[in-house]
Structures are given as structure tokens and as C-alpha cells.
Copies of this chain bind each other. A is one copy, B any other.
Amino acid sequence: MSFNSFGNLLKLTTYGESHGVAIGGVIDGFPAGVDINLDEIQQELDRRKPGQSKIVTQRKEPDTVEFLSGIFEGKTTGTSIGFVIKNTNQKSKDYNHNTNIYRPSHADFTYDQKYGLRDYRGGGRSSARETANWVVAGALAKQLISFISINAFTSSVGDIFINKPYQKLDFSSTEKNIVRCPDEEVAEKMISKIKEIRKAGDTIGGTITCVAQNIPVGLGEPIFQKLHAELGKAMLSINAVKGFEFGSGFCGAKMKGSEHNDIFNEDGSTTTNLSGGIQGGISNGMDIYFRVAFKPVATIMSSQQTINSENKITEITGKGRHDPCVVPRAVPIVEAMTALVLADYYLINKTRQI
């Protein structure tokens, strides 16, 4: 029973409020003897950090991770890995107006009701700042399963979608634009859309697609640790996520069995992959791909009616520095959580045959 832990054998436990002293975590179960490249971890964190481009929040947070244990002379030692990311740029005054106001579609109301009190500075524990911890852990996990490649990208912003199957995309292009869409033409439109939305003081939703390749056959544990179920839980844990589908997803629900079945090739691969690389909760060696829906950021720059903690009607207008669209910065988060799941299940699978 862990409220703030994710994973089974490889387990991340986190803490931290957006405007507290620091955020951080403990990674438990990481095997010994893995060479760790600390620069790559920081690079992943930089992909998530605020202020990196014009279409994300302009908050400046260096988000520097410091490792406190578990790595010695460049290698993991098998002991728990503690890390901390100091909060250096908490402009709490930006949030002081929210002390007892419940922002619409934020977690202020539910935290107050559940706990009887809350850290009202920024989102506190409910802030997506927490996901910086996940990116650190995911970056470590990537180094554990470096034979697997994980590529997430922005597949839609509002009603602007990539119209190609992922096989036609060049993932090396994803980082070449600020919206993290590997289709350059679509990327342009997405960026314009976000700029326009931002100018209007509004926000917009979007989707991220993630593709994991070179997956060993056999990852995933029936009955209640199915690989896609754990991936789904991982994605649904990310702030603002409203939906998850893998393989054929919701489209598959419209199809016939004769259309949907993936026919085997002689080598055990399949001619199609509507299954999304997972059968019966276990990876079959084909690409795993899934799509994650993000709602529009709840903080908008126009006035909205709301209530305060005394149940009085009041007004609120977003201040502070917020993202007009969460999706570009969420790409490394999606990858990180995918890596955590796959690394965990990779370890578990070492124990399933004698």
C-alpha cells in the first residue's frame, strides 16, 4: 500500500510540493552494476523543464537533479537511489491570491475536502512539478533497458492531428521543433495554434503517442499486472490525462474479428499489429504503441466564476506563468513512465521461469 510509489520490483517513491523546499524521490530495486550517465539524466530533465521555448510556461526553473546515494564510481550499487531537485524559483506571491479560492478544474477543492487542509502555494503536491521526479527515475530506467527504444511525440494539438501512421515518421525529428511533433509540417500548425491560443489567454488539449520498440517477448504478468494495464495506469497518473488506448484502441471497438486479428508470420511476428504488441497482457515482440489524451490546462488567463473555501461565489483570473498546452513538455514524461514500467517488468520477468 503506497500512495506515492510506482512500480513493483523497480519502485519509485516521491515527495515534494511545487512551492516547498524541494521535490525528490527514492528509486528502489535498481539492479547493481549498471553504468549511469548523469548527463543524459539531466538532459531528459531539461526536455521537461519550464521556460525552454515560447510555447511553454515562461517560469525559469533550472531543475537540477542531485543524486544522494546508490550510485558509486559511476555505477549503481543495488542500494536505493535517493535524489533531490531543489525548488529555486517559487514565486509564491503569484499564488497568494489562491489561498482559499478553489480554482475550477484544479485539485484545490478535492485536496481540501480530503485532507482538511492543503498547501495552497501553487498546486502544492498536485502540481505537475512532481513529474520532474518521474523524468529522473525514467531516465535511469532507460539506462537499465537501453536495448529498448522509447519514442513519444505530440500526435495532436486541439484538432490538428498527424495523419500518418507512426511507421512513416522519423522519430529523430521529434526534438527538432518546440512542439515535439516529428511531422514538420504538422508541427508548424500546432505551434501556430498554441501561440494563437496563448494570445487569447486560453489553453488547449492534445494527445501524445508513444512507441516502444525492440521489446523482448514475455514482459507483462497476467492476471492483474498486464503490461498494457500498468502502462495505462502509468499514463493516467500523469497530470491532465483523460484517456489511454493501445494498439487499435477505441477504433478497435468498431471492428470485426476478421479485420482485427493479427496474422502470424512464420517467425512469430505478425503481419499487422492492431494488438499493439501485447497479447494477454504479455509483450509479443511487436512494437508497443499507445495514445494518451491530455485535457487543456485548467489555468486560463481570463476571468472565471468560482467559489472559495467558505463556499462563497467569487472570481478568479489566472496569474503566474502557465503552459498554454501541456503536451510538448509531457512528451518526456510519457517516455519516462513507459521506461519505468518496461524496466520493472523486465526485472520481474527474470523470475518467471526456473
Contact = CB atoms under 8 A, between A and B. Distances in A.
Contacts of A242: 245-250, 252-253, 276
A126 B222 contact: yes
B223 A4 contact: yes
Nearest to A324: B257
A29 B14 contact: no
A95 to B, nearest CB: 13
A80 B113 contact: no
Contacts of A254: 156, 158-159, 205
Interface residues of A, number: 149
A21 B8 CA distance: 27
Nearest to A228: B236
A311 B233 contact: no
A112 to B, nearest CB: 10
A124 B31 CA distance: 16
Interface string A12-32: 011111001111111011011
Contact of A243 (B23, B78, B249, B263): B249
Nearest to A346: B351
A153 interface: no
A60 B119 CA distance: 36
A253 B207 contact: yes
Interface stretch (A45-53, A162-170, A179-187, A293-301): A293-301
A132 to B, nearest CB: 12
A241 B280 CA distance: 10
Nearest to A119: B72
A148 interface: no
A32 B116 CA distance: 7
A-B complex: 9 closest residue pairs judged by Cβ atoms: A107-B280, A15-B82, A243-B245, A203-B257, A1-B1, A32-B115, A110-B282, A229-B236, A114-B218
Interface of A: 1-6, 8-9, 11, 13-17, 20-26, 28-29, 31-34, 66-70, 72-73, 75, 77-82, 84, 102, 104-107, 109-111, 113-119, 124-126, 130, 144, 156, 158-159, 197, 202-207, 217-218, 220-226, 228-230, 232-233, 236-237, 242-250, 252-268, 270, 274-276, 278-284, 293-300, 302, 304-307, 311-313, 347-354
30 contacts: A2-B2, A2-B224, A3-B28, A3-B221, A3-B224, A9-B351, A15-B79, A21-B66, A22-B68, A23-B69, A73-B117, A77-B117, A77-B119, A79-B119, A79-B124, A84-B84, A105-B262, A106-B280, A110-B284, A114-B218, A114-B352, A158-B254, A229-B236, A230-B233, A232-B233, A233-B233, A250-B293, A263-B306, A347-B351, A348-B351
